[in-house]
Amino acid sequence: MKQIHQRLRALVPGVLKGLRRGIEKESLRVRPDGKLADMPHPARLGSALTHPHITTDFSESQLELITSVHADIDACLEELTEIHQAVYRNIGDEVLWCTSMPCGLPADDDIPIGRYGSSNVGKIKTVYRYGLAHRYGRRMQTISGIHYNFSLPEAAWPMLQQADGRGGAVQAYQNDCYFSLIRNFRRHSWLLLYLFGASPAVCSSFVAGRAHGLQPLSPGTLYLPASTSLRMSPLGYQSEAQASLAVSYNSLESYARSLYGALTTPYPQYAAIGIRDGEDYRQLSTTLLQIENEFYGTIRPKRPIRSGERPLHALGERGVEYVEARCIDLDPFCPIGITAATIRFLDVFLLHCLLSDSAADTPAEIVANSRNLRRVAERGRDPDIRLDRRGEGLTTAEWGGELLRECEPVATALDEAYRGSAYRDALSAAGVALANPATTPSARILREIAQNHGNSNVRFALAQSARFRADLRALPWDAEAAARYARMAEESLAAQREMEASDALPFELFRQRYLSQDLLSGIRL
């Protein structure tokens, strides 16, 4: 706690008000009957390859809505709302599925994979997705969520460095601090699943033909009674092949070293798939990870990449600029998937992770962190489960209560900077949820399903999604906003055409050069 207070004193109110965040929100396009939309990405939305705010994730039917970077929470949510409005004016009678676990899905091979045109960069994106399909199946890739991007303003780093009495390059210090944040996040992120997990049930089509261990709630709906986030359970966005990949976050160097082998060494199971079947590509490579983004971490160190650049190369050359928290479920009680209160808690939580002491991770702790996350994902509302903190068994209430108390000075400092109480209110709400599991989103969803939707998860999600569609379409939409999004759509399509016309390399040569980049450039090993 002493270190938290010392570092907080170094951050003046103007710096605290400069915290930067951006949101990436995935949602499936779904027909009015609750089935996955089978139409391609609407051309009226622009190019999924080049549009700055509206793209696709794995599937043609899976939108990804991306805000700009904001220092103001309200401005960030206003932009996310506006992007939703633009989408809803261009997808006909479809709805955006409001839950993380998918709607009624067709046969695996009938789930459409994202297409990005004929440019080499576009083909890389498409072939990568075919690789995911061959490796994990298409159903798993239809899971959606919130990715929360978080960073401190540049002015913060010299202040913190001076407070810590550290010399050397500011960027090196910044890298170390972000990896300290990541280590603490991985230790404590189970709390986010408890507080914001919102996927306790799933349509049975998601696990068709697969062993699952779920219980029937009704015909067509499966669940776990005390689950918080099936999305983050072994049934969700997980990989058995990656289970042996113990990535260390003790430094940029150890992180790079952990990933390098997985990115460069052939994996027998994937080698059997092969790279090509005649003229058709099956995957980008035969290594455990095709590219860095295939690693299913709950949080990632990030740096904006240049065209054709690999993420690990960007980190090595220019350092960590922000972190991407990836374990947040869509909030099915919010039209845009995330509320201001949730963002405020995330700000407090992430800042606490950065400012607190952060011991080096160990192989044993990495295993324990994964086990804790699984327990909370599957049984988080069971008050008797115990989590492993460096060999000590603690209940969620015991450990979570300690974490919330440690977060109090962070929330107080932010409230003093903003001259309000919103951050402490968010922390107080978390305390209520920790003491009473029935108030968590996962519990509320199961009650709503039981009371109003005949225990059908699909009926609940479809009703919520249809209501949100109506609410968002009813909001004011002026001519300026309409013209701006129409212009962005046209410009993105033109940019894609220009990329396609300017390509000179054959795709196979481009693929080889893309994969052969010096991933460790700038990284001391």
The answer to the question of residue 147 being in a domain is yes
Report helix angle 507-515 to 120-136, nearest 10.
70
CATH no. for residue 112?
Answer: 3.30.590.20
Q: What is the pLDDT of residue 428?
A: 98
The answer to the question of residue 480 being in a domain is no
Residue 304, Cβ density class (10 Å: 0-12 exposed, 13-18 middle, ≥19 buried): exposed
Query: For the chain, first and last CA: distance in Å?
Result: 33
What would the two tokens of residue 495 be?
């940019």
CA distances 261 to 151, 247, 289, 420, 520, Å, are: 29, 11, 9, 49, 11
3-state secondary structure of 286: coil
Q: What is the pLDDT of residue 296?
A: 86
CA distances 435 to 47, 137, 398, 430, Å, are: 46, 39, 10, 9
Q: What is the pLDDT of residue 400?
A: 98
The answer to the question of residue 477 being in a domain is no
The answer to the question of residue 525 being in a domain is no
Query: For residue 124, what is the enclosing H or E element?
Result: helix 120-136
What would the two tokens of residue 230 be?
């099936």
Q: What is the pLDDT of residue 71?
A: 98
3-state secondary structure of 421: coil
Per-residue pLDDT of the chain (525 residues; tens, 9 = 90+): 668 888 999 999 999 999 999 999 999 999 999 999 999 999 999 999 999 999 999 999 999 999 999 999 999 999 999 999 999 999 999 999 999 999 999 999 999 999 999 999 999 999 999 999 999 999 999 999 999 999 999 999 999 999 999 999 999 999 999 999 999 999 999 999 999 999 999 999 999 888 899 999 999 999 999 999 999 999 886 667 787 788 899 999 999 998 998 999 999 999 999 999 999 999 999 999 999 999 988 999 999 999 889 999 999 999 999 999 999 999 999 999 999 999 999 999 999 999 999 999 999 999 999 999 999 999 999 999 999 999 999 999 999 999 999 999 999 999 999 999 999 999 999 999 999 999 999 999 999 999 999 999 999 999 999 999 999 999 999 999 999 999 999 999 999 999 999 999 999 999 999 999 999 888 876
Q: What is the pLDDT of residue 525?
A: 64
Largest pairwise CA distance in the chain:
64
Q: What is the pLDDT of residue 151?
A: 98
The answer to the question of residue 348 being in a domain is yes
List the domain range (segments joined by +) for residue 461.
2-469+493-515
In a 13 Å sphere around the CA of 256, the CA atoms on its Cβ side amount to 23
Q: What is the pLDDT of residue 155?
A: 96
Beta bridge pairs of residue 325: 148, 299
Task: Phi first, then psi: give them for residue 88, nearest 5 degrees.
Answer: -65, -15
Residue 167 makes CB contacts below 8 A (sequence gap 6+) with none
What would the two tokens of residue 414 be?
């932010």
The answer to the question of residue 176 being in a domain is yes
Residue with tokens 């839950």, as numbered in its chain: 99
The answer to the question of residue 486 being in a domain is no
The answer to the question of residue 479 being in a domain is no
CA distances 226 to 134, 145, 218, 222, Å, are: 32, 20, 16, 13
Residue 8 makes CB contacts below 8 A (sequence gap 6+) with 355, 409, 410, 413
Q: What is the pLDDT of residue 238?
A: 65
What would the two tokens of residue 6 be?
């010392």
CA distances 288 to 131, 243, 296, 379, 466, Å, are: 11, 11, 12, 30, 40
**E strands present in 341-491:** 386-389, 392-395
The C-alpha atoms of residue 205 and residue 104 are separated, in whole angstroms, by 6
| Domain count within the chain | 1
- Nearest Cα neighbor of 276 from 130, 136, 116, 138 is 130
